[in-house]
Amino acid sequence: MRFVPRILQSAVQQAGRAFPAIVLTGPRRAGKTTLLRHSFPHGSYILLEDPDIQARARADPRALLDELRLPALFDEIQNAPELFSYIRTRIDAHPSQRGQWLFTGSQEAPLMQGVSESMAGRAAILHLLPFSLAESSRVTLLNGGFPEVLARPAGRQLWFSSYIQTYLERDVRAVTNVRDLATFRRFLALLAARHGQILNRTDLAAPLGVSVPTISDWLHVLEITGQIILVPPYFENYGKRIIKSPKIYIGDSGLACHLLGILTQAELDRSPFLGAIFEGFVAGEILKSQSNRGRRPELYHFRDQQGLEVDFLFPDGGGGLYMVECKASKTVHPAMASPLTSLRRAMDSRVPARSIIVHRPSRTAPPTRAVAPNVEAIDLAAFVRTLNASASKVRRKGSPAKR
C-alpha cells in the first residue's frame, strides 16, 4: 500500500525538532512504524519482536546501540524496556541533539512505565489511531480505519480474523495471564453486543462464568492495547443525579462489525446495531481529531437518572464545549434536538456550547442546517471536517499541544 499522509505527521515532525526522543503508541497495525519510517527515512530500524534482537538487547545493549546509525527507530519497544536506561544516558550526553531516538509500542501502560522511569522530559509522547475519515475516503463504518483493510477491503473478514488471533495470542498474553482464550474470544463477541451501552461488568461476567475482577482485568487489557473506547460521564453538577458509569465501544467500527457477524453494507444497513456502530464511529473520529493534533483525549457522555441523555460532550480547545447527538438516520427531525436543548438549559449559560446532531449523509439533504434553536444538523463528513478545522484553528493560536 502506498504511503497515505497522516495528520499526526505534523506533530511528529514538530516533536522531532523539540525533543531528543519520540514515543508513538497506539493499537497494533495502526500505521505507527510506517509513519515514523516515512518521517525519518535515513535512520536505523530495529524490530524488537525479533527474538534474536531481543536477546541481544538484553545480553549486550551497549553493543547493539553502538552499531546504530542515528536516528534509530525501535519498533515495539515494550519487548525490551531495559533499553530505555541506556538510551537515556546517551541522550543526556548530547542534550542538544533532537529527533534521534524513535520508539513505537502497542501496549501503552507497560510502555509508559518505562518512559516515566527513564525518559521523563526527554521524549514527546504521541498516539496514533487507525485512519480517520479526514485522512482517507476509504474509511467507512463497515471497513473501519486499519490501513491493511483499506488497502484490500475484499479480504476484510480474513484480516480481522487473523488480527484477533494474533492479538489474543501475543498482546493479551503479554499483558496478563489469560488461561482460557476461547472464553476470552466469547468475551470479545459479548462486548461487541454491548457496543455503545453503559458498561456493566456483572452483566458481562455472568454469561461467561467468570468473576467481575476478571472482567475488569480483561477490559484493562483491551483499553491499554487500544482495542476499546471507554467514554466516562461528564461530571458537572446540574442539580441532577448523574449515571457515573462509562459507555463502552469497540475502538474500530470494522472490527465491531466483524465481531457482530456483519459482512456487507446491506447487512449493516438492516442491522439493529447500526445506530450503536455509527455512534462508536463518531466517538472514534472525535478521539482521532484530538490525538492527531497531539492533544490528550477528552470525550464524555451525559446521562441522568431521569432519562436525559446526550451522546458526547467534549471541549473545543478554546474554552467552549461541543454537545453531540448521533443519529444513524439520514433524516433529521426537530424532536431529535430535545436532549441537547434540555441539557443546555441545565448548564451554565456562560460556557459557550455548540449543539450538533450528526447523521449519515444523504444525496439530497444539505450538509448542514438548523433543526431547532441553537441546534444544527451536520452529516458525518461535514462533522469530521468541522473537527479538523477546529483543531487546526486552535493549534495556530499557540505552540503544539503535548500529551
In DSSP notation, 362-378 reads -SSS-SEEEEETTEEEE
pTM of the predicted protein model: 0.91
Q: What are the C-alpha distances in Å from 250 to residues 182, 226, 333?
A: 19, 9, 28
Q: Which of 17-31, 150-164, 191-205, 225-239 is the least confident region?
A: 225-239
> 147-396 architecture in CATH?
Orthogonal Bundle (1.10)
Residue 35: all three cell numbers together = 509513519
- Cα 236 off chain centre by: 25
**Residue 317 vs residue 30, higher pLDDT:** 30
Mean pLDDT score across all residues of the chain: 89
Please tell me the predicted confidence (pLDDT) of residue 394: 41
When pLDDT is cut at 50, 70 and 90, the band that residue 399 belongs to is: very low
What percentage of residues in the chain have a pLDDT greater than 70?
93
Spell out the domain ranges in the chain. 9-127, 147-396
pLDDT 10s digits, 169-216? 777 777 776 777 888 889 999 999 999 999 999 999 999 999 999 999
pLDDT at 113: 76
- Taking the C-alpha atoms of residue 10 and residue 321, their distance in angstroms, rounded to an integer, is 25
Mean pLDDT confidence for 150-174: 88
For residue 390, the model assigns a pLDDT of: 58
Contact yes or no for 313/321 (Cβ under 8 A): yes
Comparing 111 with 60, which gets the higher pLDDT?
60
CB neighbours of 128 closer than 8 A, spacing ≥ 6? 6, 8, 24, 25, 26, 30, 31, 32, 35, 291
Percent of residues, the chain, with pLDDT higher than 90? 65
Could you give the CA distance from residue 67 to residue 44 in angstroms, rounded to a whole number? 9
The whole-number average pLDDT for the span 204-231 is 91
Among 263-272, 370-379, 384-393, the minimum mean pLDDT is found in 384-393
Q: What angle do CA 276, 281, 287 make, to 5 degrees?
A: 125
The CATH H-level superfamily of 9-127 is: P-loop containing nucleotide triphosphate hydrolases (3.40.50.300)
Pick 212 or 243 by higher pLDDT.
Answer: 212
- The residue-averaged pLDDT of 302-328 equals 90
- As a whole number of angstroms, the distance between CA 139 and CA 151 comes to 10
The tens digit of pLDDT for each residue in 25-74 reads 999 899 999 999 999 998 899 999 899 999 999 999 999 999 999 999 99
Query: Does the structure show a pLDDT above 60 at 237?
Result: no
C-alpha span between 286 and 34 (Å, rounded): 23
Q: Does residue 109 carry a pLDDT above 90? A: no
| pLDDT score, position 395 | 45
* Plot region of 122 (φ>0 → left; ψ -120 to 50 → alpha; else → beta): alpha
Burial 26-35 (b: 16+ CB within 10 A, else e): bbbbbbbbbb
β-bridge pairing 309-315 and 300-303: antiparallel
Same fold yes or no, 9-127 and 147-396: no
